[in-house]
Amino acid sequence: MYPDFCKIFDEEIYIVGGAVRDQLLGVEVFDVDIASAIHPHPFKVLCNKLGYKTFDTGIEHGTVTVLIDGKPYEHTTFREDISCDGRNASVSFSKTIEEDLSRRDFTINAIAMLNDKLIDPYDGQVDLQNRILKTVGIAKERFCEDYLRIIRAARFASRLHMDIDPDLLIAAKALAPQIREHVSVERISDEFKKAQAHGAEFLACLHSMGILDLLFPKRSESNSSSAWWQEVGRASKFDIETYFASLMRPLNDPEQVDKACREYKLSRLIIRFSTQLVSHLPYLMSEDFSLEKSYQLIKACGDNAQRLINYADNVMIHNSRPSSLDKTLTHLDKIIDSIKSPLVNGGDLHKLAIKPGPEFRTILDRAALLQIEGFDKEQILNKIT
Ligand SMILES: Nc1ccn([C@@H]2O[C@H](COP(=O)(O)OP(=O)(O)OP(=O)(O)O)[C@@H](O)[C@H]2O)c(=O)n1
């Protein structure tokens, strides 16, 4: 499955971390991390001598990526973290795989593989089998080294359907208030991105660990609501914009949503859809349909119109679905079609000697609304002149 690293480099090179864990679980492995006692510079020299390209992907942490048969492998020199401020660890290199494994977060992530041999000093395989998430050594110490590990615990427990070890849970609850102070927002939102495939379970787990309210302080009422977690679960089946918009939706106010998204340094696309969702969803979910209002809404949403329709149709819970929604959505589809392929365009207005100006846009909007009502081009031209 993997290249024989030991043969290639004629050195003891171990597969470590998530790749070993996921292989033992029989899950598809995407990123393969490797580790050895070779320091970054000699490792690069060795690779280059053998004709493999390398990239400095984290040289300050001892990480170099090597490309073998077109596939990237991240090599990190055995490390022992010496001083930590909870966010960054300044590293020193160690000599043995055992020392390297001892600095890792969870027992299931502290298994190394050398050819077919497993090095598993913390019984990670047993914990994987029993589906129990434990830290390597004392939980409080592991979390103080990097408070992000508290969120990682929720991510692994929810993704792998694991119980959380009582000591881990106690330490996580006690130290969770440190997360926002010590962990960068980018790393936190990255965890949310990585948890997308099991969004509902992740929120439930964060809630049970008492972390959710700390990450989303303004929405304490809905944080405990499993209806919201389920909504996020449905949204997470779609794209990243839909998923994050569902996370932000309980804030219920475009300004608050905008602020929260910026705080978490989310992309412009996510910010745009998240604010549009809270602005427009209440109208879609209400009974009061107006063609004019719907048309303006679709225009305002631009490329996100289809995403918004999809949200109302597939993400909202069944019992909040108004009876009028299907009719509204059919109209919205028609509006999108007519905006994409207008029967009357600017050229037609020029031919009618209508001069460009504020009127022009209004007339085109009227023409579009008539098209949606079912009039043909000739009828529309008659009506707008
Ligand atoms: N805060 C962290 C982050 C990572 N690790 C160690 O570094 C490995 C690789 O980290 P990462 O790539 O972030 O996670 P994976 O375990 O590979 O899992 P995933 O790809 O799902 O994030 C982990 O398995 C773990 O041994 C750690 O001890 N503490």
Mean pLDDT for 342-358 is: 84
What percentage of the chain exceeds 70 in pLDDT?
95
Has the ipTM of the complex gone over 0.90? yes
Q: Tell me which residue of 221, 242, 241, 148 sits closest to 191, measured CA to CA.
A: 148
CA distances from 60 to 63, 87, 88, 186, 351 (A): 7, 15, 11, 19, 66
- Ligand 1 center to 309 CA (angstroms): 37
Report which protein residue has its CA nearest ligand 1's atom 8.
17
Give residue limits of the domains in the chain.
1-130, 131-215, 240-337, 342-385
- Position 275 scores a pLDDT of 96
At 64, the pLDDT band (50, 70, 90 cuts) reads very high
Q: Are 107 and 135 in contact (CB under 8 A)?
A: yes
- Ligand 1 center to 279 CA (angstroms): 38
**Model confidence at 82: pLDDT above 60:** no
- Ligand 1 center to 106 CA (angstroms): 9
- Position 87 scores a pLDDT of 57
Residue in 21, 109, 183 to alter for ligand 1 test, most ligand atoms within 8 A of Cβ: 109
Please tell me the distance from the alpha carbon of residue 218 to that of residue 242, in angstroms, as a whole number: 20
Q: Tell me which residue of 28, 3, 34 sits closest to 112, measured CA to CA.
A: 34
For the domain with range 1-130, which CATH number is right: 3.40.50.10440, 3.30.460.10, 3.30.70.260, 3.40.50.970? 3.30.460.10
Please tell me the distance from the alpha carbon of residue 98 to that of residue 78, in angstroms, as a whole number: 9
- Ligand 1 center to 324 CA (angstroms): 48
Question: pTM of the predicted model, to two decimals?
Answer: 0.89
The dotted CATH code for 131-215 is: 1.10.110.30
Report which protein residue has its CA nearest ligand 1's atom 13.
18
Report which protein residue has its CA nearest ligand 1's atom 9.
17
Same CATH fold assignment for domains 1-130 and 131-215 = no
